[in-house]
């Protein structure tokens, strides 16, 4: 398969701008030229690459081509850095990270990466169970994910295990769980969830009751505010060990069921291509994750 570089660049521009017209303005060519380049690629590949809808939608073949276009751009960026041509400091690496890791250990890791690589980073926050979709589409170069299996075009490296504890304020426990944890008390006590993708509270409930129940719930889509709401007695919830250790030690929070943490293995998935910059970033992330996750209670 032989695809001209300008065709790949055009394809990425269509997705970035959201339309053929936007790509034409960005590349200083006509919309007709943009359309002809896409048609040429589709003829060479023998597959439709995108649906001309609003917004434009990628087909599975289009996702693969977009990923190739992004990777080509990354290779060109690495080459410019090696040649000393990247003098304007515009190298930006988009990465998907889950909110809990952002709130605990990932920001120090990315700050170190910024110092040591000189690159800039765009952090996209997404649940660790769905973050691979951004990798699959080529929108990001790496993702912190709970998915072990490497998606096409990527490698997957285990980082360690995050541990989540079921916690609540002492007054909340006294009000709702004085008689212990059971299906009745867990069904009546309010829970706090991060968003509609958050399954940790239900996993804990099933581990205690072996049944699925639907307690009343609040949703607080921010890691810091999520933990704060639990401290204030709005409900109970699952909080990473790295985020609740201090509050457990000083009594602001108590654990509902000692020795019942839910474990979440974390993996670093990245593009599988030679890139000194992504290699260096990945090494830093692995080192920082190992150090942070090792110190959980």
Q: pLDDT, tens digit, for every residue of 156-187? A: 999 999 999 999 999 999 999 999 999 999 99
Report yes or no on 83 lying in a domain.
yes
How many DSSP H helices and E strands does the chain contain? Answer: 13, 11
Report yes or no on 95 lying in a domain.
no
State whether residue 183 is helix, strand or coil: helix
Same domain membership, residue 175 and residue 258: yes
Report yes or no on 209 lying in a domain.
yes
Q: What is the pLDDT of residue 76?
A: 77
User: Rounded to an integer, what distance in angstroms lies between the CA atom of residue 255 and that of residue 207?
Assistant: 15
Report yes or no on 241 lying in a domain.
yes
To the question of pTM greater than 0.85 for the whole model, the response is no
For range 72-89, the mean pLDDT:
68
Report yes or no on 149 lying in a domain.
no
Q: Is 276 exposed, middle or buried (0-12, 13-18, 19+ CB in 10 A)?
A: exposed
Q: Which domain holds residue 242?
A: 162-263
> Which CATH number do you get for residue 82?
1.10.10.10
- If one compares 207 and 134, the residue with the highest pLDDT of the two is 207
Domain boundary among 87, 104, 130: 87
Domain count, the chain: 2
> Which CATH number do you get for residue 178?
3.40.190.10
Report yes or no on 9 lying in a domain.
yes
What is the percent of the chain with per-residue pLDDT over 90, rounded to a whole number? 51
Report yes or no on 189 lying in a domain.
yes
Report yes or no on 286 lying in a domain.
no
Pair of tokens at residue 282: 């990945």
Domain boundary among 39, 67, 87: 87
Q: pLDDT, tens digit, for every residue of 43-68? A: 888 889 888 877 888 888 888 888 88
- If one compares 107 and 212, the residue with the highest pLDDT of the two is 107
Whether the pLDDT of residue 87 is over 60: the answer is: no
């Amino acid at each position: 398969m032989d695809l001209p570089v300008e065709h790949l660049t055009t394809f990425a521009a269509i997705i970035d701008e959201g339309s053929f017209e936007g790509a034409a303005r960005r590349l200083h060519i006509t919309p007709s030229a943009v359309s002809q380049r896409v048609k040429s690629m589709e003829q060479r590949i023998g597959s439709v690459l995108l649906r001309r809808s609003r917004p434009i939608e990628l087909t599975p073949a289009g996702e693969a081509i977009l990923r190739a276009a992004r990777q080509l751009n990354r290779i060109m960026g690495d080459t410019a850095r090696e040649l000393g041509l990247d003098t304007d400091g515009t190298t930006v690496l988009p990465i998907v990270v889950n909110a809990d890791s952002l709130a605990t250990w990932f920001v120090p890791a990315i700050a170190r990466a910024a110092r040591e690589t000189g690159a800039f980073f765009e952090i996209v926050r997404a649940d660790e169970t769905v973050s691979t979709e951004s990798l699959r589409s080529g929108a990001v170069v790496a993702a912190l994910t709970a998915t072990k299996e490497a998606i096409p075009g990527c490698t997957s490296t285990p980082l360690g295990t995050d541990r989540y504890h079921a916690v609540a304020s002492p007054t909340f426990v006294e009000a709702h769980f004085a008689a212990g944890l059971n299906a009745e008390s867990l069904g009546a006590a309010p829970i706090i969830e991060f968003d509609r993708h958050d399954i940790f509270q239900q996993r804990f409930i099933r581990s205690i009751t072996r049944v699925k129940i639907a307690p009343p719930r609040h949703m607080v889509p921010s890691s810091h505010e999520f933990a704060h709401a639990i401290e204030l007695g709005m409900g109970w919830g699952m909080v990473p060990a790295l985020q609740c250790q201090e509050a457990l030690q000083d009594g602001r929070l108590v654990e509902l069921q000692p020795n019942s943490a839910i474990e979440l293995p974390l993996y670093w998935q990245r593009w599988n291509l030679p890139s000194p910059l992504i290699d260096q970033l990945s090494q830093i992330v692995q080192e920082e994750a190992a150090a942070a996750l090792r110190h959980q209670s």
